[in-house]
Every structure is written in structure tokens, then in C-alpha cells.
Structure 1
Amino acid sequence: MGSNHATTANRTTEAAPDRAGATTTVTVRCTGHVRDAVGTHELEFAFEGTTLRAFLEAFFDEYELEEMLIAETEAEATHSGWAPVPDDLPGTWRKNPEGEQTRPYARVCINGRFNEHLGGFEAALEDGDRVALIYPFMFCC
């Protein structure tokens, strides 16, 4: 397990450009509202390209989930009830640029890691990787 983590970290820090004609097959895991929209919790999905961006474009062509998952503006990516971010945050904080963020509560993971920690939408994907599209059901009293 440790070696897979190291391999994933090394391979995704330098996002490779899509190879012309390369086809990648990943396992897609769906939760919550995404599972309802797709109709299953897991499926194999082949697409042309080698990046998360290429996967998302192909997946959204087949399943109309882009509006559910992807925020086009900073306002769409932020929930009104979230606490303000302090000016001086400890450690390293990564956030995808505007237009490449998920909506509040929605997440995209590659092999169990959030995509913003792997190069955002330019994160490299390989055959057999797991892509999780997460949008949990939210209930309030």
C-alpha cells in the first residue's frame, strides 16, 4: 500500500500531456446523488486521454453531471455557511483554480486522494485507477 501511495504521488505531480489516441480505462465509483444519476455505484469507463480533465469531459458527455459536480465560479464553489478563511494558514494549502473546482460538498478523488492534491484537472490517470465522484446526500432536521 505504501508503494502505491508513493507511485501515485510521483506520477501525478508531473501531469503528462494527453498522448494522441491513448485510451485509458478507470473504475468509477459513485456516491450519493451521483450514484442516483448514473444508476450504479461502480462502473468501468474508457476514455481517450490520460488526464482527469479528459476523463471528466468524456464522462460528462455520457452522463450529464457537470452542473451537479463542477463549479464555474468561486461563488459556486463556496457555501454561504462556511467559516471565513484566516489570512495566515499553517502548512501548504492547495485549491484548484476558478472554473476547476467542485461545488460545495462534491468531491473528485483519484485512488482515494482529492484531485487538488494531485495536480487538479491535469492529474495523470492510468489504466486501473479509481476515480470517485462524490456528492453525498445531505439531510437536515
Structure 2
Amino acid sequence: MAQPQARSTTETTVDVRATGHVRDALGKSQLTYTFEGDTLREFVEEFFAEYDVRDLVIAETEADSTTRGWAPIDAADVPGHLRKNPDGERTRAYARILINGQFNENLDGFDTELQDGDRVALVYPFLFCL
């Protein structure tokens, strides 16, 4: 039987940037945030417990992470490596989490290690249709 993982006692301080709907919900576009741990998973767990913006960023279902009208993708025809985060770790359609300007799914997803001073961006832009 697997032993439960012990939580890290490391504290990490990151610069959080927010755009669009997340910025509106937070009431500011930038803040410094210290959390217990050193991974994106530990950051989002604590940050979303303190700031009620989880539903603006994280998709609960596959339908929440995609939007109507996107062309279906045949992974065999895509050059390179096509990856998306596992269920429960996907962002809503149009929302993204970036670490130092890179999408988290292009790094190690929610297991991406964070260091003091890293920038974590919670992006959910306003969309206007004319």
C-alpha cells in the first residue's frame, strides 16, 4: 500500500499576475503571494482556497475546457508533441496559467516546480463578440 506523500514545509513567494475576469475578481492585477510548498499544485490549492477564483480558471469537465467551433484534432497529424493537462488540471476555455511566460502544460503541468520570484499568471481575458 502506497504511503501518503508528506506536504512540503518549504515556503515559496511568487509574483501573481491576473488579467481579465480574474483581475476583476481579485480587485487587482498583481500581488505577491507566499505559500507552503514549491509546486504549482501547492500554489493553486492554497491560492484558490484564499481567493475565490478557482471556477474562473479551472475546468471541471471536458466541456468547460473546450469551446464550440474548434476543429477536431487528429493527434496523428499534429507535428511535435501534443499534450494537455489531465482531468481536473485543465483550464477553462480561453483561461490559462503561465509560469514565467510559459503555459503550465508545456512545462510539468501542476507538478511544475516554482521558485522564489517566479511569475504565475492567471489569465482569463474578456471576450467581446460583435
Distance 2:6 2:16 in 1: 19
Matched, 1:121 2:113: no
Over 2 Å off, 4+ runs = 17-20
Larger proportion of helix: 1
Q: Is the 8 A contact 2:8 2:38 kept in 1?
A: no
User: Aligned-pair RMSD on alpha carbons?
Assistant: 1.4
**Which of 4, 17, 36 is the equivalent residue of 1:29?**
17
* TM-score, length-scaled by structure 2: 0.91
The code of the aligned residue for 2:36 comes to: E
2:58 aligned to 66, 70, 85, which one? 70
Q: 1:34, 1:56 → 2: CA distance? A: 13
TM-score (norm 1): 0.84
Partner residue in 1 for 2:79: 90
For 1:54 and 1:140, the matched residues in 2 are separated by 36
Distance 1:73 1:64 in 2: 19
Matched residues, number:
125
Give, in angstroms, the shift of residue 57 of structure 1: 0.7
Alignment pair present for 1:51 and 2:39: yes
Question: Is the 1:30–1:41 Cα contact (8 Å) retained in structure 2?
Answer: yes
Deviation of residue 48 (structure 1)?
A: 0.3
Corresponding residue for residue 139 of structure 1 = 128
For residue 6 of structure 1, what is the aligned residue in structure 2?
Answer: none
Contact 2:16 2:33 (8 Å CA) reproduced: yes
Amino acid at match of 1:32: G
Q: Structure 2, unaligned stretches of length 5 or more? A: none
SS at structure 2 position matched to 1:33: helix
